[in-house]
Structure 1
């Protein structure tokens, strides 16, 4: 069945051009509305999968107001069409959480890319909502389960929303200013999209590990690993994702570099700990990752000069969804340290936290080393 699109555009020649472009791309145009009121009526009558909305529309409702009603009442994604790309207009439009922008005049490919990205993003959000609804249903079994599952739902929604917003933001800029961006800037936006997709994949892995570790279903895969290259790659990846907000430093204090460790588990541990350090440190601060080897042990420390953890909270840090009293207003989920602790336990290691309010936090993880990796089966 063809994807159904409604066009809300008061300039009929532009609307017909959009209609022809969409039909050539295989979409079904269910109608053209020339003002906000007509757009609402047609959405109600035709149930489109997507609305292309001109921001400046005649009548009592402009495009932004109409888009907000469509989102709230009908849950239909909206992509804005506009010849007004000034910052004030875009900021006003952003409040309605659109699924994209197309700057007029536009190329045919720009329009179809915007539609494809919007539909793909909307599908992901619908699938996530279905997952959340399923979790919410399961959570109603008892009062304790209800509390935990509600927090779990909030966690998933929050963590998926950030990378999706990054994807949307870069896609919008590429669509609106594609012809005005040089190759380097375009590439940076593509890299940002790829990074956000990776973040979504990483989050899914986190959830799987959290769930499977409870049933001891995780299969460990230790193998020889160049710990210096591994940690530097992790630092570079995180530094790229946070830009210049914080400085990440890595030092390896031993001559041994190749160790037998489970790469995925180690990535889970260090990435979560570093992300926490970034989250709770002031802008511009330095976060340090220090690694070393002792006899049959690999030791890593993550040091920050962040807000610190109240003493009465430190014994609860590894509990699912727990947030320290001075961290509740910060973005986060309360699952990061739970994932870290379970990963450390699976590797038969140890973790300790030394923290002082207003001074910072040092997390130390010690993992046993395997002399030789197990033979391949």
Structure 2
């Protein structure tokens, strides 16, 4: 049996059936009445609307065999338990909606099951909010675990309320606990300055960036860079200060050594469904597909168009503007009913809610969410039409009864049967109303005339008090004006917002959020409203928690000293923070539509795509690499980047969080070190070559001198004068060779030290070259010949005769030395107006092509010289001597065909 919650306000006999039927049909909850064996006897409109079925597809069907159940989730066991007398509750999918069902057994008398009442609530919104909260917390946890920022939340006095785990991970400091004054760990010389800055932040409500020294428990000091931001309470007062710090000790040391500045950067995005508009200066700048479908225009046709174009008239536009905007041009959060016009001219009603894009900057415009409520308005009109139709039918029936008085007896019997059925129907609908999972109340005048059990539970007061006390006293004072105005206008027949929330004050002091929808009806022939109430406290608390979580996350994300970004699985940026944009030379808004590959250096893209693929295939849980990014101006920046995926509740990657540290200066230092090592290696190789060359080149003449000296020492008296002269000549030749070698070493030493002496004086090249040719003819073998050719009329040129002797002496010596098979050596002089050209050509072994590029390097010798002696110094000396004259030297050669050196000297010099 059920408690009689209507005892203080009995139903008027003429209105009972109509009221109960209206309450059942227009309840926002899914409602069904089942027979004791589980067959559907009645179903309301909300059930048909949500499931997409019609009356015939549901009524008369077994509840557990309805089309919306999947093969594996029909509630057979739950219904069986209910038939056994147990009230059951379970969740199930109905036409893509998550619904919480409550099935209650109804007993006419103990032990006799009369019916089953099944009610349901769409809990998709609550599930979505819970999912969003879990996702936000997961992102927050990932960021807290993967960044080294020191995050603290302080109260107005500077006491710690929250510390990130990075305090222990980065600083290794175990002393930091909530409730501790944050100033205690600051270096004494910085403490009062930071305390004063903190006080200014609290008083002004504006954040500040500061650097200070932090004292660790072991007495060591770390440099910290921090950014403080404030969190306001509902009254606009500063309640919390968020301080995000970073250990910049290494950076400070690097700045002193290399004068580097390391900049760091990152973001997230919102996903909105339904009809959403972004309006600035009363013009439409962005809309989603829901709005396009709603009004019948394409996105391209509507961008930049005035919102007035979508209103039926200018008066409607002005009225809507007054309703949905405040004096500063910000959108109001309260829902409003606004009429718009479709492309085909049809006018339709919408429920509009809005929010400013940035509450502090009204000029950035507003975001609006809209719901088409045409069906709701039509339903209200249908109720009025049915009332009129019912009245007409009753009048017709009365006339028929008067005309058919002779059938009165039969009619009375029929009426008794009808009244019995009506009482049974009333009882059935009364059970539905009493056990509905939604509060039902009839308001007339200042008080409630009817309230079901659920309504009594929601208000939290005795039924007698509810009936005798004006209902406005149960409502929170801040919500009373809205409730009273909507109630007055609804009774007057005006169009009023039909779904909104308000707070009730229960007798136990608890505050609960209720959502109301209402229709105007007649109660005892007087105007009244039928109200449907649902408890949405958990949803509102979840929304508040979600808002707080988003505020905390965005405070960390946007003020992090690390470059951070959020991208979709294809690498397209969803959001970046200021540090990310600033390091790459962009504005934050410029990253819209860009991908991570757009800023990646072309040479790095294959590797980046490969790493991205490994993340998406879940081969790795995160990735980190050093790579090059391209700034907006095209310059290259080296970064150390880490990427971590974010998974949804199905385990699918829905986004990726990335962060990087700029390492351009470190890379530049590494390159300088590498070049220095290569230079050192080259010097070591030169030293080894020099030692090897000198030991080899000095050994032969020394051996000659030693052997000749021994011959003279032991056999001088036995040798003829000619033999002794020959031995002395060989000693002289060996000494001359050593002297020449030492001279080359000394010259190359002066060249390397930049101390080679250059003393130009007027010189007759014809005479100089001719004398040099005669000098070297004495060194020719029997198969070699030296030809000198010179044009007449060569003027004197400014030159250093000693250096010219090094140049052409080395070239002639090499031509003779590397022509072992003989042949002609051509030595020629040609003069032009501004240049003198001297060539030395031989028919010797030639120079391989691969050696020609390094021909003038110190100690380098061609690979085909074999056993021919040489130091590898001569051509290096030649090149430096030519450079001192401001001239050039070139070579053409082929292996086995000979070599030609061409020296060009300027005829005049500019001192």
> Are 1:248 and 2:786 matched, yes or no?
yes
| Aligned counterparts of 2:704 and 2:908: Cα–Cα separation in 1 | 40
Q: 2:812 aligns with which of 274, 297, 305?
A: 274
Q: 2:688 aligns with which of 150, 157, 167?
A: 150
Deviation track 1:41-62 (CA, whole Å, cap 9, x = no partner) reads xxxxxxxxxxxxxxxxxxxxxx
DSSP-derived class of the 2:847 partner: coil
> Are 1:355 and 2:884 matched, yes or no?
no
Q: Look up the match of 1:199.
A: 737
DSSP-derived class of the 1:295 partner: coil
Q: Look up the match of 1:319.
A: 857
Q: Look up the match of 1:338.
A: 876
Q: CA RMSD in A?
A: 3.2
TM-score norm. by structure 2 comes to: 0.23
DSSP-derived class of the 1:337 partner: helix
**Pair 1:345–1:252, CA change in 2 (3 A):** same
| Aligned counterparts of 1:154 and 1:218: Cα–Cα separation in 2 | 24
| Aligned counterparts of 1:231 and 1:173: Cα–Cα separation in 2 | 40
Q: Look up the match of 1:298.
A: 836
**Pair 1:260–1:173, CA change in 2 (3 A):** farther
Higher RCO (C-alpha under 8 Å, 6+ residues apart): 1
Contact (CA 8 Å) 1:344, 1:351: kept in 2 or not?
yes
Higher helix content, 1 or 2? 1
Higher strand content, 1 or 2? 2
Range with greater deviation from structure 2 (320-329 or 160-169): 160-169
Deviation at 1:315, TM superposition (A): 1.4
DSSP-derived class of the 2:879 partner: helix
Deviation at 1:150, TM superposition (A): 0.9
Q: Look up the match of 1:160.
A: 698
| Aligned counterparts of 1:169 and 1:288: Cα–Cα separation in 2 | 37
Gaps of 5+ in 2: 1-678
Deviation at 1:224, TM superposition (A): 3.3
| Aligned counterparts of 2:824 and 2:784: Cα–Cα separation in 1 | 6
Deviation track 1:153-203 (CA, whole Å, cap 9, x = no partner) reads 1122233334444545655666646765456x7656545544443333332
Contact (CA 8 Å) 2:836, 2:905: kept in 1 or not?
yes
Q: 2:748 aligns with which of 210, 229, 237?
A: 210
Range with greater deviation from structure 2 (268-277 or 155-164): 155-164
| Aligned counterparts of 2:736 and 2:768: Cα–Cα separation in 1 | 17
| Aligned counterparts of 1:370 and 1:201: Cα–Cα separation in 2 | 34
Q: Look up the match of 1:287.
A: 825
Structure number, greater radius of gyration: 2
Deviation track 1:340-368 (CA, whole Å, cap 9, x = no partner) reads 11111122110000112221110001112
| Aligned counterparts of 1:335 and 1:348: Cα–Cα separation in 2 | 20
**Pair 1:143–1:356, CA change in 2 (3 A):** closer
> Are 1:263 and 2:263 matched, yes or no?
no
**Pair 1:364–1:189, CA change in 2 (3 A):** farther
Q: Look up the match of 2:192.
A: none
DSSP-derived class of the 2:735 partner: helix
Contact (CA 8 Å) 1:206, 1:268: kept in 2 or not?
no
Contact (CA 8 Å) 1:308, 1:355: kept in 2 or not?
yes
**Pair 1:196–1:310, CA change in 2 (3 A):** same
> Are 1:234 and 2:772 matched, yes or no?
yes
| Aligned counterparts of 2:795 and 2:717: Cα–Cα separation in 1 | 44
**Pair 1:190–1:259, CA change in 2 (3 A):** farther
Deviation at 1:213, TM superposition (A): 1.7
| Aligned counterparts of 2:731 and 2:766: Cα–Cα separation in 1 | 27
| Aligned counterparts of 2:703 and 2:776: Cα–Cα separation in 1 | 18
Contact (CA 8 Å) 2:751, 2:880: kept in 1 or not?
yes
**Pair 1:247–1:147, CA change in 2 (3 A):** same
**Pair 1:303–1:318, CA change in 2 (3 A):** same
Deviation at 1:291, TM superposition (A): 1.8
**Pair 1:328–1:151, CA change in 2 (3 A):** farther
